[in-house]
């Protein structure tokens, strides 16, 4: 189904007059963090450089977390230093504490992402601290980041459900989003970490978020564990969201959310958005090639349905060089 101009115009926030959707590629961070096979630094660099050629505006490049917790991210400083920084592309990095921020500043990061959740249990598993301790850490990070003129994106995980505590209350998620915006995040990404969201639940959450701020401040970050991500994206668009996170070839998952599978595949998201008559500025064919490149490197099946449907001999030749 094609989104008609009236449909686009009638979307309820100011950005809805635009038919442009910003796609935030999180494959190099969210995608790789869950992979057991350690990828050599040059491959990560090549991966990000290939993504930079697709027309994306934002590529979350890595995370400066403890390698004791997330071994795949052991080389984040080297990766960040070595990637080609293409003009017009932002390369945010995920930061859990002041130590991570220091490392990111040392290598010249310009944008960071901080993260929280509405669940006490998830906070302890993911960051080894309570929600209020994590709030103090985020305040410290933000204060230091502002001194270095960094821009700050916020994440909220488990927006619909938590692997340890079950359903989350939209009002609690909304209060946390409000706090992150007040602290100085320019945008808050709402993460359905374990993919339990459905259109009805997403709609109910977004009506709560509308009370917090204009929906142009929010991104949706769907994991596709239950195959609901594209349906949820449709609901998000209908409600006025114009920023979506995704991961090429559907890589990903959170190491602290057992059973959570990858993010919605960027190829699937792009195909859907373009077919709806929306613009992203991203070349789907190039993205398909990157998806097969990284799947080959990881020696795993590409999880993108669109990526597999569009696989041609030409694509295979391009990913093998």
Is 30 near Mg ion (CB under 5 A)?
yes
Q: What binding mask, one character per residue, do residues 252-271 give for ligand HMG by CB under 6 A, x or -?
A: --xxx---------------
The reply on whether position 63 binds ligand HMG by CB under 6 A is: yes
Q: Can you name the residues that pair with 190 across neighbouring β-strands?
A: 156, 220
Which option in Mg ion, ligand HMG, none does residue 178 bind, with CB closer than 5 to 8 A by kind? none
**Nearest of 261, 177, 271 to residue 233 by alpha carbon:** 271
What is the residue-wise DSSP string for 151-199?
A: EEEEEE--SSEETTTEE--HHHHHHHHHHHHHHT-SEEEEEETT----H
Residues 6+ apart with CB under 8 A from 222: 192, 195, 197, 228, 229, 232, 233, 244, 245, 246, 263, 264
Q: Which of residues 101-130 bind ligand HMG (CB under 6 A)?
A: 103, 115, 126-128
Is residue 200 involved in binding ligand HMG (CB under 6 A)? no
Of 45, 94, 91, nearest to 66 (Cα)?
A: 94
Nearest approach, Cβ of 138 to ligand HMG (angstroms)? 11
Nearer to Mg ion, 30 or 238 (CB): 30
Partner touching 284 among ligand HMG, Mg ion, none, CB below 5 to 8 Å by kind: none
User: Least Å distance between CB 22 and ligand HMG?
Assistant: 17
Binding-site member from 15, 44, 217, 221 for ligand HMG (CB under 6 A): 221
Kindly tell me which residue out of 47, 64, 80, 244 binds ligand HMG, with binding defined by CB under 6 A. Answer: 64
**Among the residue ranges 1-9, 15-23, 68-76, 140-148, the one whose residues contact ligand HMG (CB under 6 A):** 68-76
Whether 60 and 113 have beta carbons less than 8 Å apart is answered as yes
Position 25 contacts Mg ion (CB under 5 A): no
* Residue positions counted in the chain: 321
Rounded alpha-carbon distances, angstroms, from residue 294 to 79, 166, 243, 289: 16, 33, 24, 9
Which residues are catalytic, by number? 254
Cβ closer to ligand HMG: 54 or 157? 157
């Amino acid at each position: 189904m094609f989104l008609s101009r009236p449909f686009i115009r009638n979307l309820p926030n100011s950005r809805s007059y635009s038919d442009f959707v910003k796609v935030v590629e999180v494959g190099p961070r969210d995608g790789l963090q869950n992979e057991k096979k350690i990828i050599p630094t040059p491959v990560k660099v090549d991966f990000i450089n290939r993504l930079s050629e697709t027309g994306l505006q934002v590529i979350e490049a890595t995370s400066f977390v403890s390698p004791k917790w997330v071994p795949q991210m052991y080389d984040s400083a080297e990766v960040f230093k070595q990637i080609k920084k293409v003009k017009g592309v932002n390369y945010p990095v995920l930061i859990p504490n002041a130590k991570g921020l220091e490392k990111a500043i040392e290598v010249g990061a310009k944008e960071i992402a901080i993260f929280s959740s509405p669940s006490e249990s998830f906070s302890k598993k993911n960051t080894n601290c309570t929600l209020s301790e994590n709030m103090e850490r985020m305040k410290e990070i933000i204060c230091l980041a502002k001194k270095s003129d960094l821009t700050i994106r916020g994440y909220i995980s488990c927006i619909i459900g938590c692997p340890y505590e079950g359903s989350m209350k939209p009002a609690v998620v909304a209060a946390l989003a409000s706090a992150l915006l007040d602290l100085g995040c320019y945008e808050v990404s709402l993460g359905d970490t374990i993919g339990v969201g459905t259109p009805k639940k997403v709609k109910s959450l977004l009506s709560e978020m509308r009370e917090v701020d204009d929906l142009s401040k929010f991104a949706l970050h769907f994991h596709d564990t239950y195959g609901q991500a594209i349906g949820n994206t449709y609901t998000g668009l209908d409600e006025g969201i114009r920023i979506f996170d995704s991961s090429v070839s559907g890589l990903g998952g959170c190491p602290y959310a057992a059973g959570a599978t990858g993010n919605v595949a960027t190829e699937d998201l792009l195909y859907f958005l373009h077919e709806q008559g929306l613009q992203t500025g991203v070349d789907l064919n190039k993205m398909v090639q990157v998806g097969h490149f990284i799947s080959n490197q990881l020696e795993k099946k590409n999880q993108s349905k669109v990526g597999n449907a569009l696989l041609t001999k030409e694509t295979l030749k391009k990913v093998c060089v």
